[in-house]
Structure 1
Amino acid sequence: MRAEQAGRAAGRGEVRTAGVVQWARGPGVGRPMVAAGGRAALGSAAETVMAATGGRRCRRLEGDAARAVLRGADTLLFDCDGVLWRGEAALSGAPAALGRLAASGKRLCYVTNNSSRTRVAYTEKLRRLGFPPAEPRHVFGSAFCAARYLRQALPDGAAAFVLGSPALSAELDAAGIPHLGPGPAALPGPAPADWAQAPLEPAVRAVLVGFDEHFSYAKLCQALRYLLRDPGCLLVGTNRDNRLPLEGGSAIPGTGCLVKAVETAAEREAFIVGKPNRYIFDCVASEFDIDPARTIMVGDRLDTDILMGNTCGLTTLLTLTGVSTLEEVRGHQESDCPARQSLVPDYYVDSIADLLPALED
Structure 2
Amino acid sequence: MKDNKFEVLLKVELFILDMDGTIYLGDRLFEGSREFVELLKENRKEFLFLTNNSSKSSDEYLKKLSKMGIDIAKENLLTSGQATAIYLNGIAKKTIRAYVVGTVSLKKELESFGINIAEDIEKEEVDYLIVGFDTELTYKKLLDACELIRKGIPFLATNPDLVCPLDGGKYIPDCGSICIMLENATKKKPLFIGKPSSIIVDVISKLKNVEKSRIAMIGDRLYTDIKMANDNGMVSILVLSGETAFEDIEKSRLKPTFVYNSIRDIYEDLKTVYRGAG
Summarize the Cα distance change of 1:203–1:238 in structure 2 as closer, same or farther, 3 Å threshold. Answer: same
Matches within 5 A, 1:312-351: 312-332=232-252, 340=253, 343-351=254-262
Q: CA deviation at 1:150?
A: 2.5
Distance in 2 separating the partners of 1:296 and 1:157 = 34
CA distance in 1, matches of 2:10, 2:95: 47
1:92 to 9, 15, 31: 31
- Does the CA contact (< 8 Å) of 1:238 and 1:272 recur in 2? yes
The worse-fitting range, judged by mean Cα deviation, of 65-74 and 294-303 is 65-74
Instruction: Report whether the alignment pairs 1:212 with 2:134.
Output: yes
Paired letter, 2:193: V
When the two structures are superposed, what TM-score results if normalisation uses the length of structure 1?
Answer: 0.71
User: What is the deviation of 1:199?
Assistant: 6.1
Greater RCO (Cα-Cα under 8 Å, separation 6 or more): 2
Once the 2 structures are TM-superposed, how far is the Cα of residue 242 of structure 1 from its aligned partner?
Answer: 0.9
Q: Which residue of 1 aligns with 2:85?
A: 147
**Could you tell me how far 1:259 is from its partner in structure 2?**
1.3
Task: Map Cα deviations across residues 199-241 of structure 1 (whole Å, 9 max, x no partner).
Answer: 6134212111011123232211111222223x2x110011111
Query: Among 240, 256, 269, which residue is 2:160 paired with?
Result: 240
Specify every segment of 5 or more residues in structure 1 that has no aligned partner in the other structure, as ranges. 1-36, 38-62, 182-197, 333-339
Q: Which amino acid aligns with 2:198?
A: R
2:94 aligned residue:
156
- Tell which deviates more after alignment, 149-158 or 107-116: 149-158
Match of 2:20 in 1: 81
Quick check: 1:126 aligned with 2:65? yes
- For residue 103 of structure 1, the aligned residue among 39, 42, 48 is 42
Work out the CA distance in 2 between the residues paired with 1:347 and 1:200: 51
Corresponding residue SS for 2:83 = helix
Number of the residue aligned with 1:68: 7
Q: 2-side partners of 1:175 and 1:283: how far apart?
A: 14
Cα root mean square deviation, aligned: 1.9
Say which one has the larger Rg: 1
1:248 is paired with a residue whose SS is coil
**How much does 1:128 deviate?**
2.2
2:228 — aligned with what?
A: 308
Supply the AA of the counterpart residue of 1:241: D
Contact persistence 2:212–2:234 (CA under 8 A): yes
CA offset digits 1:259-302 (Å, max 9, x no partner): 12222222211000011111111111111111222221100000
- Give the alignment of 1:176-191 within 5 angstroms: 176-181=114-119
Inter-partner Cα distance in structure 1 for 2:199 and 2:73: 21
Check whether the contact 1:158–1:203 (CA below 8 A) recurs between aligned residues. Answer: no
Q: Distance in 2 between matches of 1:104 and 1:135?
A: 17
In the other structure, the counterpart of 2:268 is 357
| Cα shift readout 1:13-57 (whole Å, capped 9, x = no counterpart) | xxxxxxxxxxxxxxxxxxxxxxxx5xxxxxxxxxxxxxxxxxxxx
CA shift, 1:123, in A, is: 2.5
Deviations 1:162-194 (A, max 9, x none): 11012211111111111134xxxxxxxxxxxxx
2:112 aligned with 1:201 = no
TM-score by length of 2: 0.91
Q: Which amino acid aligns with 2:87?
A: Y
Which stretch has the larger CA shift, 346-355 or 157-166?
157-166
Structure 2 Cα separation of the partners of residues 129 and 83 of structure 1: 14
Unaligned runs of 5+ in 2: none
Residues 25, 165 of structure 2: 8 Å contact kept: no
Matches within 5 A, 1:260-275: 260-275=180-195
| Structure 2 residue corresponding to 1:289, chosen from 209, 217, 239 | 209
